[in-house]
Amino acid sequence: MPWFLKSTFRGASTALILGAISAIFLACGGTETATDAEDPPPATATNALAHPESTEWTVISEVINLELATPDLGVGMQRFGMVLGDQNGLIKFPVVNLQADYYPSGYESELDPSVTKSALARFYLFPFGTRGIHTTDIEFDRSGKWEVSANIPQPDGSTSNVKVRFTVAEEAQSVIVGQNAPNSESRTLESTGNIAHLTTGSQRYSGLYEHSIAESIQRERPFMVVLASPAFCTNAVCGPQVEIASELRETYGEQFDFIHVDLYTNPHEIQGDLSRAQLTPLLDEWGLVSQEWTFIVGSDGLVTHRFENFAPKPELVEALDSIIANG
């Protein structure tokens, strides 16, 4: 059987290309306090993101499909996430053992065995049960060509290998852990007066638009911010992040602010037609390179946690609890 080879691209927000397709994508979300804004109709369009070659990845496998959820990788300890599947659908093994190898002279040469690392990736099922992700932390201690591989058990007792190859940059494109969060003047319900101007989602959570990012930083208030467009959650690594943020606010609202920023500044004008969409300037301020991001910021304004694409609720709970525990 020939090797399955797939290349996928991710990249900077300045290269976003807006397009339309006929498939219908339902908004990801739940319910909270609604305003008198009219709900937009179901989205009938999606955005195609064009990305530079610096964030290209390649998957090699005979039978395993892999979607890299965290392509914006730079030197340092990084959250590494991937969606695994095969002909039977989503692979849901609770733990998958990963091996990370570094190729100092490119993939045509030998790897450097002194740099090889291993990690256990835990599986998290998305809330609706149709998607899931394996995540772990891996320290990429140098830039260049890396490969992460795994052996996936098969029903007949054998294993199938899958590899994903990608470039680790000297520094990730987005804001990273330890950096100051941008003092972004994100819009609020008070400043706009209409929640339909703040989110593409058909289910809206007014509590996520009480404070701007700049306000939380100025108040020295720790916060979690989700940057995503709920109605255009279109790929295997994106999920109902805004809904999760609203749920977490119910538990942690006394200790953290929770903020949602839509990728588009005019959700009320799009109504499924992204040719009319206007991108928020916060994409450039935060250096975003894919459709869905979550950051947690401490009371000192420094980013403490960074999640590219969907972050399952248990991961976020662990992060929030660690901030509380550390004072």
* 76 and 183 Cβ atoms separated by less than 8 Å: no
Using the predicted structure, report yes or no on whether residue 44 has a pLDDT greater than 80.
Answer: no
Distance (Å, rounded) from C-alpha 112 to C-alpha 102? 6
Q: Specify if 204 maps to a domain.
A: yes
Query: What is the pTM (predicted TM-score) of this model?
Result: 0.84
- Determine the residue type at 7: S
Rounded to whole angstroms, what are the CA distances from 30 to 201, 250, 268, 305? 10, 13, 19, 24
Sign of CA dihedral 9, 11, 17, 22: positive
Q: How many domains does the chain have?
A: 1
| SS3 state of residue 78 | strand
Distance (Å, rounded) from C-alpha 15 to C-alpha 182? 21
pLDDT digits over 273-305, tens only? 778 888 999 999 999 988 899 999 999 999 999
Strands 293-297 and 89-90: unpaired
Backbone angles phi, psi at 319, to 5 degrees: -65, -45
Q: Specify if 273 maps to a domain.
A: yes
Q: Specify if 37 maps to a domain.
A: no
Using the predicted structure, report yes or no on whether residue 19 has a pLDDT greater than 70.
Answer: no
Using the predicted structure, report yes or no on whether residue 8 has a pLDDT greater than 80.
Answer: no
For residue 251, count other CB atoms closer than 10 A to its CB.
11
Q: Specify if 85 maps to a domain.
A: no
Distance (Å, rounded) from C-alpha 301 to C-alpha 304? 9
- Domain that residue 286 falls in: 176-325
Q: Specify if 287 maps to a domain.
A: yes
Q: Specify if 314 maps to a domain.
A: yes
Q: Specify if 229 maps to a domain.
A: yes
Question: What CATH number should be reported for the domain holding residue 286?
Answer: 3.40.30.10
pLDDT digits over 122-140, tens only? 999 999 888 999 999 999 9
Using the predicted structure, report yes or no on whether residue 321 has a pLDDT greater than 90.
Answer: yes
Q: Specify if 79 maps to a domain.
A: no
pLDDT digits over 197-256, tens only? 999 887 899 999 999 999 999 999 999 999 999 888 778 898 999 999 999 999 999 999
